[in-house]
Structure 1
Amino acid sequence: MKLDNAIVLVTGANRGLGLEFARQALAAGASKVYAGARDPASVTLPGVVPVRLDVNDPAQVDAAAAACRDATLVVNNAGIATMGGLLDPASIDALRAMFDTNVSGLLRVSQAFAPVLARNGGGAFLNVLSVASWISTPGLGAYAATKSAAWSVTNGLRIALQGQGTQVLGLHVGFIDTDLTRGIDLPKLAPADVVAKAYAALEDGAKEVLIDELSQRVRQGLAADPGIYLDSVARES
């Protein structure tokens, strides 16, 4: 799918990676960019159309699908992460909250916008996943569980939407330098580099894009014996 003249909706577009997705869509020639955010007033990027969108609110998702009925690309970027071990007492509540946003929210938006994309020629979903779809770490076990589920949902959507010609691109990446990873003392990627590679893959018609060396190494290691997912994986600096 080409970005030139596309009509793009980005969820969680008021900051971080979502903001960069919106910015680069405009720069690439998108004719319109809807910037979804729980508080539209927090969207300050010139040239975009702010849209009230909490992916956990079915009424807001339906309203967004009605308001953005000309969309041809949906970037499912909205997500949350809570640090903590799986054996921490708070992990169940944290898992539930992250699952609501990272998995159910992604699916809810996809269900609402699949008919929109179908009416507009097929279009595409670009789903922001993670290297955590495949591996876990001591402090992000619950988050990794939600990203594994989001990867599975993405693969299921790709199959379900083949008939209407909708491209579904899953983006896997390690740590990105955004508010989401504040406090994590590890090398991080620049959001601009991540988005540029993701959009290039989208325009090439890809189904999956592995942004960094870590994601590529882990993906290859899934088939190893023993599998790379059987232990914590550290990013090489």
Structure 2
Amino acid sequence: MAFDVKDRIVLVTGANRGIGKAILEEALSRGASKVYAAVRDVSSAEPLVAEHGDRVVPVHLDLADPASITAAAETAGDVEVVVNNAGVLTVKSALDADAIEALQSEVDVNVYGLMRVAQAFAPLLKANGGGALVQLNSVASVKTFADFTTYCASKAASYAVTQGLRQTLKGQGTHVVSVHPGPIKTDMGVAAGFESIGDSPDVVATGIFDAIAEDRFHVWPDLVARQVGGAYQSFSVNVVEADMQEDLA
């Protein structure tokens, strides 16, 4: 199911800044014929159109708004690669007074949003030859950091959903990729207190399209992520990516 993104049509959620913008630009640099910049505020994608012309097509999409996702899928009916990058993060421990509300908000976007995107776009990917579905998870999906407990919980859930999608979509020829960055220098990273550490968003974008080209499920793109991924490798290969259906029967 591996393929080159050259001459393909790509959709990236949260494409107007940070990692999403880097993904959009990497897709274009690799020869993608068109990239849908799926954003909550379509006007925020105008600088991308000014820079790249009609190869960038802004489309309204809000992961917390199911109707907007359905409408975006109707607009982007020719899509071949969907990268679900958008997400939310709050700095909350399990004992914070508003931790439950924070978790509910993060789950709505980071987990239900992924499921809404998959339900809307999987049929299109199938109709267009299979393609790829990429989900931005995090090292926080396999390791909880106390001050980010609610975010980590939401990303652990999105990682679980991504694993399920890998199995479900395999039959239609859709390659699913799970991306697990560590601290990355973005606005979200700064808000989380990572302004002095972290790699460039470019390493995430490069890792995504390399994984699509090489038919890999996991991406551990940056220095911190590679350390976590190295320790996780045996479990990943022998449990997560193994076909255990017969063993469970």
Q: Normalised by the size of structure 2, how large is the TM-score?
A: 0.86
1:174-193 to 2 correspondence within 5 Å?
A: 174-183=182-191, 184-185=193-194, 186-193=196-203
Q: 1:127 aligns with which of 122, 135, 144?
A: 135
AA of the residue aligned to 1:207: F
AA of the residue aligned to 1:31: S
Distance in 2, Cα, partners of 1:79 & 1:136: 17
Say which is worse superposed, 177-186 or 118-127, in terms of deviation: 177-186
Quote the offset at 1:223 in angstroms. Answer: 8.5
Helix, strand or coil at the partner of 2:146: coil
Q: 1:80 aligns with which of 88, 91, 107?
A: 88
Query: Does the 8 A contact of 2:203 with 2:222 survive in 1?
Result: no
Deviations 1:52-94 (A, max 9, x none): 0011111111111110000000001010100121100111111
In the alignment, structure 1 residue 49 sits paired with structure 2 residue 53: no
Aligned counterpart, 1:234? none
AA of the residue aligned to 2:157: A
Aligned counterpart, 1:229? none
Distance in 2, Cα, partners of 1:217 & 1:176: 15
Aligned counterpart, 2:16? 14
RMSD across aligned C-alpha pairs, in angstroms? 1.5
Query: Does the 8 A contact of 1:134 with 1:219 survive in 2?
Result: no
Q: 1:71 aligns with which of 67, 79, 83?
A: 79
1:81-120 to 2 correspondence within 5 Å?
A: 81-120=89-128
Q: 2:145 aligns with which of 137, 140, 145?
A: 137
Query: Does the 8 A contact of 2:183 with 2:224 survive in 1?
Result: no
Q: 2:227 aligns with which of 217, 220, 232?
A: 217
Q: Which runs of 5+ in 2 are unaligned?
A: 235-249
Quote the offset at 1:220 in angstroms. Answer: 4.4
Q: Which runs of 5+ in 1 are unaligned?
A: 225-237
Aligned counterpart, 2:210? 200
Helix, strand or coil at the partner of 1:117: helix
Quote the offset at 1:215 in angstroms. Answer: 2.4
AA of the residue aligned to 2:226: Q
Quote the offset at 1:202 in angstroms. Answer: 1.4
Q: Normalised by the size of structure 1, how large is the TM-score?
A: 0.90
Q: Which structure shows the higher helix fraction?
A: 2
AA of the residue aligned to 2:116: R
The change in CA–CA distance for 1:40 and 1:223 in structure 2 (over 3 A counts) is closer
Q: 1:149 aligns with which of 154, 157, 166?
A: 157
Give aligned-pair identity as a percent. Answer: 43
Distance in 1, Cα, partners of 2:227 & 2:169: 29
Distance in 1, Cα, partners of 2:233 & 2:15: 35
Q: Structure 1: which 4+ aligned runs deviate by more than 4 Å? A: none
